[in-house]
Every structure is written in structure tokens, then in C-alpha cells.
Amino acid sequence: MMRSNFLSNLLKGDLRAKIFIYLLIFAGVIVPLLNLYTPEDNFLHLTDYHVALFGKYLTYGLLALSLDLIWGYCGILSLGHGAFFALGGYCMGMHLMREIGVRGVYGDPILPDFMVFLNWSELPLAWYGFDHLGYALFMVIFVPAFLAFVFGWFAFKSRVTGVYFSIITQAMTFALMLAFFQNDLGFGGNNGLTDFKDIMGFSLQDTTTKIFLFCSSVVALGLGFIVSNKFIKSHAGIVTTAVRDQEDRVRFLGYRVEYYKLSAFVVSAALAGVAGALYVPQVGIINPGEFAPLKSIEVVVWVALGGRGTLYGAIIGGILVNLAKSFFTVNFPEIWLFFLGGLFVLVTIFLPRGVIGLFADLIKYFKSKKLKTNE
């Protein structure tokens, strides 16, 4: 009772948002239950693999949420959001690498395997401190946020907007991808970071660890949703939304448009970083491929499909597309790109407000029909 009051206060009577949170809590409870307390041959049983898979979808949901925050509410289309996701992931991966310790193939207590392989004798400066989880978690938020701050500071100050901004964010993630592919950078090059053993002393293979990570993803997504919701309902959020619709007018009213954009961009990047950090332990690998421009653009289609400017729509879109991706890439790998490509085209032409918009239209349609028949 206490909790639902708290939620009502937080969401200010936004019914859909409330339904979404309840659904999320439900998922957070039901998935572990189905995993732990159903017999293995039961139809409803979820294996450990499924728990990790759903956990991955939730992190994708958080990534989609972060993009919707700036695209749906601020009108900034970032084609490089995968970069923030991957950076968060790398920070987490570095911590997990350090956790391996002497259990690596070469058994070096400090250096990760790939550094021993490359004949490095010392830990690069960038890796210092990542043996502490607290520091790693701080970096998970700080690194993407800082990059977003610097990038956004320059871009928004000089009023780079629209397509130009999209293009340079794409260039950013492309440049990062090229850089991370280099062995010399010290982040594992081509292979990235992998072979993780455990987190906080618990093996990553354990069911309980997987459930814990899944629940963390639920909590992170829920918190991310509430924070974003809070942000867009706040004064700053309303100004941000105004910037999306009429940037010049807001500027003429005396607001410093760039600061509003910048804060939205930084918050969004931090959220993406968190998503990446939760993604890595559940998937077990992070490599430069995550920086690929294609990945970032894929995130955009999740948001577009779900319905931009609704937050929960983006999350639903993220989860839906990835469900479809899992299905197609396993069963019809040939068709997946046709499907994804078709999705891009069809959604942008026929569903400008996404699945959520379609849903809302349908409800409206049936309501009006009902009214008419009543008359």
C-alpha cells in the first residue's frame, strides 16, 4: 500500500506509466519464480538461458528508453547511442576482467590475459581502480556522461542540429569503433573483453547470480523510467519538449536552449551506460562490434516502432524487436535483414507514432464506434 502510494505520487496519476511499472514488477517477480519453482519439463519453465536472455532484453529496453528521452522529448536524433552503451559495457567488462585474477589462462594476478598475450608488462593507466566495483560503477555512469557532455557542449553551443547532429554522432561511434579495434588502445582489440568468471564473488554461471542480474535490470529499468518520467514532467523537461517543437521560439523566450539539450543528452548517455553495464555480465562479452553504426541505428528503430515520445513505448519497442530478432536469426537468418529493413520503412511511413500510437488509435476508434452504436 505504502509503495503504490509512493508510485502514484511519483507518476502523478499517469495511468499508462503506472500500468507499465506494475507490469515490470510483475515480470521481475514471475521470471525468477518460473525459473526456480517450476519443474524442468514444465511448459512454463524458464531455463537460466532464458533468464539471461530476458535480462538482456531489459537492458535493451533501458537503452531504448535513453534514446527516447532525447529523440522523443528533445528532438535530437543520436545515431551514436550505441557508443554510450558500449562504453558503459566496457567499464563493467574491465571490472569483470580484473575480477578474473589468477584464474586466467596465463594466471597473471593483475594483467588480463590479452595483455599478457601482447607481452605488456604493466597495467595501462586507464585500467587503474577497476578492481573496485564501486569505482567501476561510478565510471559506468561517468564515462558516457562525460563524453556526452563534451560532445554535446561543442555541438549544442554551435547549434549543430537535425541531420547534421545525427551524422556527427554516427561519425563519433564509427571513430570509437575503429579505435577500440586497435590492440594498442588496451581494451582487448578485436576480441574485446570476455571469459568473465564472477561478479562480487558470485559465479556468473550460477542461477542465483543470473536472477540477481535480471532483477537488477528490472530495477534499473524501473528507476530509469521513473527518473526519465520525473525529468520530462519537471520544468526543465517541459522546456526541453518545447525545444523539440519550436527551438527558435524557446530561444527567443530567453531560455538557454543548449543547456536543456545538454542536460537531456547527458542524462540519456548515463542511462545508456548503465544499460551497457548490465548487458555485459548477462551476455558475457563486450567487443568493438557494439560501437558499429548499425547497432546504434537499430536502437532508433526500436524506439520508432514502439512509439517515440512515450518512454514506455520505446521500451516495448526495444523488447519486441529483439524478440523478433532472436526468433528470425535462429529460424530464418536470411530473412532477418529484410524484416528489419522493412520494419524501418513501414514504421516510418505507416506508423509514425509506433505500436503505442496504433494501439491508442484503435482504442479511440472502438470507443467512438461504441458511442455511435449507443446513440
Using CB under 8 A as the criterion, which residues of the chain lie in contact with other proteins when the complex forms?
A: 77, 79, 154-155, 157-164, 166-168, 170-172, 174-175, 178-179, 181-182, 293-294, 297, 300-301, 304, 334, 337-338, 340-345, 347-349, 352
Q: How far is the CB of 338 from other proteins (least distance, A)?
A: 5
Q: Which is nearer to other proteins, 6 or 154 (CB)?
A: 154
Indicate the residue among 24 and 351 with the shorter CB distance to other proteins.
351
And the C-alpha cell for 27?
A: 515480470
Name which of 169 and 217 has its Cβ closer to other proteins. 169
Q: How far is the CB of 224 from other proteins (least distance, A)?
A: 23
**What is the grid cell recorded at 74?**
528533445
User: Residue 319 and residue 23: Cα distance in Å, rounded?
Assistant: 13
Query: Please, which residue, 178 or 223, has the CB nearer to other proteins?
Result: 178
Q: Residue 154 Cβ, how far from other proteins at the closest point, in Å?
A: 4
| 216 alpha carbon, distance to own chain's centre | 14
CA distance 132 to 96: 10
Q: Which residues pair with 19 in a beta bridge?
A: none
- Residue 71's CB is within 10 A of a number of other CB atoms, namely 24
Eight-class DSSP state of 131: T
Nearer of residues 210 and 308 to other proteins, judged by Cβ: 308
Candidates 9, 94, 48, 23; CA nearest to 316 is 23
- Closest CB to other proteins among residues 213, 343: 343
Kindly report the number of other CB atoms within 10 A of residue 186's CB atom: 19
| Residue 218: CB minimum distance to other proteins, A | 29
Q: How far is the CB of 146 from other proteins (least distance, A)?
A: 16
Cβ closest to other proteins, residue 26 vs residue 332: 332
The alpha carbon of 62 is separated from its chain's Cα centroid by a whole number of angstroms, namely 4
CB 72 within 8 A of CB 303: yes
Which residue number, 276 or 293, has a Cβ lying nearer to other proteins?
293
Q: C-beta of 324: minimal distance to other proteins in Å?
A: 14
Residue 217 CB, nearest approach to other proteins (Å): 27
Least Å from the CB of residue 233 to other proteins: 25
Q: How many CB atoms sit inside 10 A of residue 106's CB?
A: 12
CB of 182 to other proteins, least distance (A): 6
Sign of CA dihedral 7, 12, 13, 16: negative
Largest CA distance in the chain: 83
CB-nearer residue toward other proteins: 277 or 305: 305
Cα–Cα distance measured from residue 187 to residue 247, given in angstroms and rounded to the nearest whole number: 40
Residue number, 302 or 312, with CB nearest to other proteins: 302
What b-and-e string marks burial along 328-337, b requiring 16 or more CB atoms within 10 Å of the CB? beeeeeeebe
21 close to 10: Cβ distance less than 8 angstroms: no
Minimum distance between the CB of residue 110 and other proteins, rounded to whole angstroms?
28
CB-CB contact of 216 with 137 (8 Å) = no
In a 13 Å sphere around the CA of 200, the CA atoms on its Cβ side amount to 11
3-class SS string, 155-174:
HHHCCCCHHHHHHHHHHHHH
